[in-house]
Amino acid sequence: MSATSTTTRAVAARALATAAAYSGSVALAAAATAATALAAGVVQTNRTIAPQAAPLDPRDAVHTRPEDVALIGERLATMVRFKTVSWDDSHGAGHKCGHHEPGHDHDHDHEHHAHGDPDPHLEARIAESHAAILGLLEYISETYPLTHSRLHVERVNTYSLLITWRGSEDGGAPVDSDDWRDPAHGATLFMAHSDVVPVPAGTEGKWKHPPFAGHIDEEGFVWGRGSMDDKGNLIILLEAAERLLAAGYWPSRTIYIVSGHDEEIGGLAGSKQIAARLQARGVASLAMVVDEGTMCVQTIVRGLDPYRLALVGVAEKGSLTLKMTANRNADGAGHASMPSPNDPVVVLGKAIAAIEARERRTNLDAGVGWMSRYLVPYFPPVHRFVMSNLWLFRKVVARVLQSNTKTAAAMQTTVAFTMLDGSPKINVIPDAASAFMDVRIAAGESADSVTADLRAIASRVSPQLTIEPWGNRAADPSPVSTMSPTDPYFSTLARVLRGMYRAHRTPQEPEFRDAVVAPTMLMGNTDTRHFVHLARRIYRTSFFLMWTHEQIAGFHGVNERLQAENVARGVSGMMELMREVGEMPMEMATSVPTPVERDA
């Protein structure tokens, strides 16, 4: 028997094993793949499996000192008590905490709600948030004195922070001179945001502790809105910088620390203005940007137990808000006693059903494909073989992943119908009925292409339908940052994450192994969108570990909380990362990033 024949028989056997591991159509597809392997007589394996970087242990283990853990917990709790809510109009047309962005049209700041009623309390809520943000900034100034005395701290648009830690090798005019031009080469920018989403009315009673009380329980969890998103990351950055300064550290490369005040509603008045300020000062490119994003979780991938999975968002999906409206025919009646099959609400319902039933494009290479290159060696044998041979098992894998709403969302453009607008009275057929769509755009598509696709579907339903952009949140998917294990910045971030999490043992999981780092697609949006024209590499990862799905659900949800020890561990890791990028050799800091690799 030839070697090729032996190999193909092995392929077939493993494919049949895959068929046995699943059921229904997936099993049939795997069985068909086995036959294909036998007929083809060839086998190919994934040639771009990425090795894991060696863990880099934190030099300053802040998380091992109970007094530091307690102090960090108290500081986070205090930050949570500042009610820094970003208020938007009902569909994201873009209240920017009441601040006017230079050169931006603010007519929408006075728009009505979708249902035609203005929010009578909006201005008062914005004023309350302004006061809270100013209070938080004062608290930060008092709590981190070395940062504010030795580094250049600016308030941008009153409420956002830009902290410049100028590297010792970056000369030039003094920071405070009027004509200061930033000469930074190979600088790294770290981001967080101080604003939080509202607590929806009527949900306060579902919280175990009041959402803005900053309660610390007996296990050291800090409860409250913003503890995870994103004041946990903000305090990690501030603590890391302050502690490095106290230890006498000064970087060779410039480090920026940014805190936006309106990330939850688009970042137009905060981070966008900071990016513009840096560009006006002559900053042509940043070596790396690190912002909130994915995190380290126990595992979310079938077969990967018991590894921790530290995910790094190397790109984020695009976003778009659309308003679909069905208008009444000229001969349509207005009284509910004379309904018609072409009434706006009926037509709108048909269009919603048609869009829900549309064929979805699946991009297995983005997100899931990136992850598989890093995770393949850690899968059980059958899973490992399948994911190493996507050329053969692509349809099988796609079908399995499409059966789960979470993994399907990572591969496809999603359309969520979130709000409806129709008649103001029970017995009146409206002149028009509208549905609002929150669209998240997958890699390979664009806001324009998705809008065109949805309009085509609507046109086949009825000429009464129109689809138009709503608000100012149209954004194409971001560029993909390098995820090469040989890239100096990605590999450094991966080493720090592995070192930060590998020693994380708790009574609940004493047997967990080292963390596995993998790139992924971030399904939400961050303020990094305002830096894509400046940054060579953008990575989105939060420096803490989530134990349960219930904890993860706290993001923008009920019972948001974060353990103080978890935050302190993030401080340990961030200090190490700041040291590493602060001493990155100039030739690496200014090098062109390693190209994004494609699977063979």
Q: Quick one: pLDDT band at residue 573, thresholds 50, 70, 90?
A: very high
Question: Does position 78 have pLDDT exceeding 80, yes or no?
Answer: yes
CB atoms within 10 A of CB 387: 22
3-state secondary structure 24-63: HHHHHHHHHHHHHHHHHCCCCCCCCCCCCCCCCCCCCCHH
What CATH code is assigned to 62-90+132-200+207-314+478-589? 3.40.630.10
Q: Stretch 368-388: mean pLDDT, rounded?
A: 84
Question: Does position 256 have pLDDT exceeding 70, yes or no?
Answer: yes
Picking from 561, 566, 544, 568, the residue whose alpha carbon sits closest to that of residue 223 is 561
Picking from 94, 72, 59, 282, the residue whose alpha carbon sits closest to that of residue 182 is 282
**Eight-class DSSP state of 598:** -
Residue whose tokens read 């608000």: 471
Residue percentage of the chain with pLDDT more than 90: 58
Q: Stretch 12-20: mean pLDDT, rounded?
A: 53
Computed from CA positions of residues 246, 283, 94, 412, in that sequence, does the dihedral angle turn out positive or negative?
negative
User: What pLDDT score was predicted for residue 93?
Assistant: 35
Q: Quick one: pLDDT band at residue 511, thresholds 50, 70, 90?
A: low
pLDDT digits 0-9 by tens, 320-376: 999 999 998 866 667 788 888 999 999 999 999 999 999 988 888 888 888 888 988
CB atoms within 10 A of CB 105: 10
Are 163 and 152 in contact by the 8 Å Cβ rule? The answer is yes
User: What pLDDT score was predicted for residue 508?
Assistant: 54
Q: Quick one: pLDDT band at residue 112, thresholds 50, 70, 90?
A: very low
* 501: exposed, middle or buried (Cβ count in 10 Å: 0-12, 13-18, 19+): buried
Enter the pTM of the model. Answer: 0.86
Are 560 and 297 in contact by the 8 Å Cβ rule? The answer is no
Nearest-angstrom CA–CA distance, 375 and 307: 10
Of residues 198 and 473, the one with the higher pLDDT is 198
User: What pLDDT score was predicted for residue 34?
Assistant: 52
User: What pLDDT score was predicted for residue 92?
Assistant: 36
Residue whose tokens read 């032996």: 6
Question: Does position 181 have pLDDT exceeding 60, yes or no?
Answer: yes
User: What pLDDT score was predicted for residue 392?
Assistant: 84
Q: Which of 77-81, 377-381, 397-401, 548-552 is predicted with the least confidence, judged by mean pLDDT?
A: 548-552
User: What pLDDT score was predicted for residue 371?
Assistant: 87
Nearest-angstrom CA–CA distance, 332 and 347: 13
Q: Which of 209-223, 228-242, 459-473, 544-558 is predicted with the least confidence, judged by mean pLDDT?
A: 544-558
Q: Quick one: pLDDT band at residue 410, thresholds 50, 70, 90?
A: confident
Buried b (16+ CB within 10 A) or exposed e, 161-191: bbbbbbbeebeeeeeeeeeeebbbbbbbbbb
pLDDT digits 0-9 by tens, 512-550: 567 899 999 999 899 999 999 999 899 999 999 887 777
Nearest-angstrom CA–CA distance, 60 and 287: 25
Question: Does position 400 have pLDDT exceeding 80, yes or no?
Answer: yes
User: What pLDDT score was predicted for residue 379?
Assistant: 83
Question: Does position 104 have pLDDT exceeding 70, yes or no?
Answer: no
Nearest-angstrom CA–CA distance, 251 and 580: 9
Out of 205-209, 470-474, 543-547, give the one with best mean pLDDT. 205-209
User: What pLDDT score was predicted for residue 114?
Assistant: 47
Question: Does position 440 have pLDDT exceeding 70, yes or no?
Answer: yes
- The partner residues of 318 in beta bridges, in order of sequence, read 441
Q: Which of 83-87, 361-365, 477-481 is predicted with the least confidence, judged by mean pLDDT?
A: 361-365
User: What pLDDT score was predicted for residue 316?
Assistant: 95
User: What pLDDT score was predicted for residue 160?
Assistant: 98
Q: Stretch 386-404: mean pLDDT, rounded?
A: 83
Nearest-angstrom CA–CA distance, 374 and 519: 8
Of residues 473 and 321, the one with the higher pLDDT is 321
User: What pLDDT score was predicted for residue 89?
Assistant: 54
User: What pLDDT score was predicted for residue 254?
Assistant: 94
Q: Quick one: pLDDT band at residue 95, thresholds 50, 70, 90?
A: very low
- The rounded mean pLDDT for the chain is 85
Q: Stretch 54-75: mean pLDDT, rounded?
A: 95
Q: Stretch 156-178: mean pLDDT, rounded?
A: 82
* 330: exposed, middle or buried (Cβ count in 10 Å: 0-12, 13-18, 19+): exposed
Are 106 and 278 in contact by the 8 Å Cβ rule? The answer is no
User: What pLDDT score was predicted for residue 45?
Assistant: 52
The three-class DSSP label of residue 218 is coil
